[in-house]
A and B are shown apart, each in its own frame.
Chain A
Amino acid sequence: MSAPTAAQEQAGSAGPSGPAGPSESAGPQEPALPGVARATSPDGHDIVFPSRAGYHDAVAAHRAAGFEMLADLTAVDYLGHPGRALPDGVAAERFELVVALLSVSQPRRVRVRVQVPEDDAVVASLWDLYRGAEAMEREAFDMFGIWFTGHPDLTRILMPEDWEGHPLRKDFGVGRVPVQFKQAPGPR
């Protein structure tokens, strides 16, 4: 909670700028992102695979190209399912951040998938681009323990503040965790 304050100031002054009105733009053109792998999913959505360093820039380029809305942001823990299909040049890591961008002006979706390593689970926050990222990134942090630099208030959102662990990680067991709300067993 202490780290992102400086970035927050910076982001707060920048703000979402430029008209994002649905009517005037002619529709999004795919921004040219050199060196970023692409694919098309079976359901017809474009998928881009930027590197972790280029993730924020790639999303910013999409935003400038007319993707006005961040529809969804979530993460996947691929522990136990390492052999997934990825384009050449993208090395699989344990976590994957999945961002669904939506263009309202020309109905269209694009999915951004970023590989996040287990030992350094830190990515840039999208809060300065899309204010709607705040709750979704808090949820991803709460459930997967991925840290978002530049987020104004990265705290737990669904679990209690003093909860240990990140429940949607695959190594967080189901039903084997003692319930933390209960008191110690009585004298009976």
Chain B
Amino acid sequence: MTPHTGSSLSSETFEGSQELGDRGATSPAELGREAGSVLRLPEGTGVDVSDLDVEYPDDETMIINMGPQHPSTHGVLRLMMELDGETVLRTKPIIGYLHTGMEKTGEGLTYQQGATNVTRMDYLSPLNNELVFSLATEKLLGIEIPPRAVWIRMLLSELQRVSSHLMWLATNGMDVGSTTMMIFGFRERELVLAFFEKTTGLRMNHNFIRPGGTAADLPDGWEDDVETILDNVTARLAVYDELLTGQPIFRERMEGVGALSAEEALALSATGPILRSTGVAWDLRRAMPYLAYDEVVFDVIIGTYGDNFDRYAIRLNEIRESVRILRQVLDKMPAGDYRVQDKKVTPPPRARIDESMEALIHHFKIFTEGFKVPEGEVYVAVESPRGELGCYMVSDGSAKPHRLHIRAPSFVNLQSLPVMMHGGLVADAVATISSVDPVMGEVDR
């Protein structure tokens, strides 16, 4: 990316500002660039810029506000941007408009109820949130869940990745002007959501993955349903390829825009497709396998330039890898229990309550008091469609977590937005925001 020169207008509108720099030749001074791309002004309105102790390259910059109601900002993201003409100099993402104190709420809910709370954070991949919460609780409890529960979780987690990436393809297409892609993406996502509705009863916020396993077994004929989804998605991925990947307008808008280097991505703690687009093959499913990801074969998709096009290509091909994993899950799904048979953790089956006093007592205790979790603290991370989704949980030995912290990938990834947008055009800002894939429910929690 050519640094901003502030000279004649023609050099700005020419293709030059979108060129990629040399890879691997990033100097330490260039690494400090994010210090120059983050705008640090108070967020309040009516700030007189001349009163502030901030240096400007010249007097011709202006600060404009984008959001929180801008349709392209994916929810309630607000950006303060310092512009010189149409070039973005520094940016400050302002968040918190959707803050509802979910971590505080989580301290008041039992482990039994907690999954309903965390599932509402990342509303495009709720099952991953339930998964990380359940894994953390199980690690504190020290219980091992049955193999079928593990594979059901993997099945749902990968289907969720497919639906989340399809949703991203749809909204990203919308942001760069391809409304066809928006309709296509939503159409295919509908297939996955219909399966979720059949399995869990809900299209989103499922509360299906719970501490101890899952809420229910998979419905009869699930193999055929998943097979249909995979065949459909595979066939239509080829259509997307034809519609977008080779299309000159789409490539012009994506290639070389919003570039980030691997060093910057690591320094800014970016994970997920953003980190992988810079060429770092970091995927928690591969590097630190959880569930049974070490028993399936898949590739980690990486990019080269770290630009918007790489992030598009990574998400598109990750759908293909998820389809590949799902086909192996179809083959390898073991039989058995879908939740752990520990009466202190999971409620007894409905039929047992009618005939066993003890089962009734266990049921009553679990749903009124919840189950107690031994003292301790644990950090568990999974690879959500957006990056490292972590859960730091502290238990004081009671039935409610003493502290529940969710390391939200969107929240951390938003920090790289000013670096990506630095020196680009305002029109490209929309495409760059989209390529970060922020989910504001997760950012603000």
**In the complex, A85→B269 CA distance in Å?**
30
Q: How far apart are the CA atoms of A13 and B32 in the complex, in Å? A: 8
Contact indicator A135/B139 (Cβ below 8 Å): no
CB pair A22–B377 under 8 Å, yes or no, is no
Do A21 and B262 contact each other (CB < 8 Å), given the known contacts A71-B381, A132-B270? Answer: yes
Contact A16 B31 (CB under 8 A): yes
Asked if residues A72 and B392 are in contact (CB atoms below 8 Å), the reply is yes
Partner of B267, one of A22, A81, A130: A130
Given contacts A81-B396, A157-B95, contact A174 B403 (CB under 8 A): no
CB pair B104–A15 under 8 Å, yes or no, is no
Partner of B380, one of A43, A84, A107, A167: A43
Of A1, A100, A136, A157, most B-chain CB atoms within 10 Å: A157
> Are B411 and A43 within 8 A (Cβ)?
no
A: number of interface residues (CB 8 Å): 58
Interface centre among B35, B44, B104, B414, by most A CB within 10 Å?
A: B35
With A20-B263, A77-B403 already in contact, the answer to whether A15 and B35 are too (CB < 8 A) is yes
Are A107 and B268 within 8 A (Cβ)? no
Within 8 A of B (CB), among A95-150: 98, 100, 102, 104, 107, 109, 111, 130-136, 139, 143
In the complex the two chains form, what is the Cα distance from A172 to B105 in whole Å?
12
| Contact assessment for B40 and A132 in the assembled complex, using a CB-CB cutoff below 8 Å | no
A28 within 8 A of B: no
Say yes or no for A65: interface residue by CB 8 A criterion. Answer: no
A42 vs B104: C-alpha distance when bound (angstroms): 25
Interface of chain A, main secondary structure: loop
**For the complex, what is the distance from the CA of A71 to the CA of B195, rounded to whole Å?**
34
* List of B residues within 8 angstroms of A22 by Cβ: 262, 266, 280-282
Segment with Cβ contacts to B, from A30-38, A51-59, A158-166, A180-188: A158-166
Given contacts A17-B31, A76-B394, A168-B104, contact A134 B379 (CB under 8 A): no
Min CB gap B118→A, angstroms? 15
Q: How far is the CB of B369 from chain A (nearest CB, A)?
A: 18
- Beta-carbon nearest neighbor of B139 in chain A: A43
- Our pick among B38, B42, B377 for the contact of A41 (Cβ within 8 Å) is B377
How far in angstroms is the closest Cβ of chain A from B382? 13
Quick check: is B99 within 8 A (CB to CB) of the other chain?
A: yes
Q: Which of A59-111 contact B (CB under 8 A)?
A: 68-72, 74, 76-78, 80-81, 84-85, 98, 100, 102, 104, 107, 109, 111
Complex: how many Å from CA A71 to CA B412? Answer: 9
Min Cβ gap A64→B in Å is 14
Q: How far is the CB of B8 from chain A (nearest CB, A)?
A: 30
Q: Mark B399-414 against chain A: 1 for CB-CB distance below 8 A, else 0.
A: 0001101010001101
Contact for A135 among B264, B376, B414, B445, CB less than 8 A = B414
What count of chain B residues pass the 8 Å CB interface test? 58
Q: Among the listed B95, B99, B390, which residue makes an inter-chain contact with A100, where contact means beta carbons less than 8 Å apart?
A: B390
Which listed residue (A69, A84, A167) contacts B104, Cβ 8 A? A167
Contact B407 A69 (CB under 8 A): no
B375 at the interface (CB under 8 A from A): yes
- Tell whether A100 pairs with B28 under 8 Å between CB atoms, given A130-B267, A131-B267: no
The listed residue (A1, A15, A71, A81) touching B402 by CB distance below 8 A is: A81
A84–B375 touching, CB < 8 Å: yes
Q: How far is the CA of A50 from the CA of B405 in the complex (A)?
A: 22
Q: 21 interchain pairs (CB within 8 A)? A: A12-B32, A17-B31, A20-B263, A21-B262, A72-B392, A81-B396, A85-B375, A85-B376, A102-B388, A104-B266, A131-B264, A131-B268, A135-B412, A136-B269, A136-B412, A143-B103, A153-B40, A158-B99, A161-B44, A174-B105, A174-B108
7 residue pairs, one from A and one from B, having the closest CB atoms:
A132-B269, A15-B32, A107-B287, A153-B40, A158-B96, A81-B396, A72-B407
- B-contacting residues of A (Cβ < 8 Å)? 1, 5, 12-13, 15-22, 41-43, 45, 68-72, 74, 76-78, 80-81, 84-85, 98, 100, 102, 104, 107, 109, 111, 130-136, 139, 143, 152-153, 155-161, 167-168, 172, 174
Known contacts A71-B390, A107-B287; 18 additional CB pairs below 8 A are: A42-B376, A69-B266, A71-B271, A72-B405, A74-B405, A76-B377, A81-B396, A84-B375, A100-B407, A102-B388, A107-B288, A130-B267, A135-B415, A139-B411, A158-B96, A159-B99, A174-B104, A174-B105
